[in-house]
Amino acid sequence: MDAVRDSLLALRARLDRVGVILSGLCLVHCLAGLFLIGVLGLGGGALLAPSIHRVGLGLAVVVGALTIGIGAIRHGRMLPLALGGTGVALMAAAVIAGHGSAEAVLTICGVVLVASAHIVNIRKGAC
């Protein structure tokens, strides 16, 4: 039973790290999009595709629910859950808001909160 528990904990820790990486990639995508489109006028079709944002939100929900939710149940700390839930809500608001400065601000704030939730979850899980 301990081997299964240890395997699940290791998987959750890996998925938390994947969540941090995905959040970072989302942040880079958003900032690069702002720069390339706003400053250089390039890449609008690919970088602004709504499907990219919906897929990213879906990944954030799935990975976050698995890792942060399970982590909160395991270690009993609600801070990662509150950070992650708020971050995902901001990302969802960005998808609804459509393209523009509001979308960029909401997305950036959301991914920073989601990444922070994963980092806190990793640290709480190590205790």
The pLDDT tens digits for 95-124 are 888 777 788 889 889 989 998 998 888 887
Predicted TM-score (pTM) above 0.75: no
Count Cβ atoms within 10 A of the Cβ of residue 84 and give its class: 0-12 exposed, 13-18 middle, 19 or more buried. buried
Model pLDDT, residue 87: 92
**Residues 43-74 pLDDT 10s:** 555 556 677 778 878 888 888 888 888 888 88
Q: Are 64 and 88 in contact (CB under 8 A)?
A: yes
Kindly state the average pLDDT of the residues 10-17.
75
Mean pLDDT over all residues of the chain? Answer: 79
Band of pLDDT at residue 39, cut at 50, 70 and 90: low
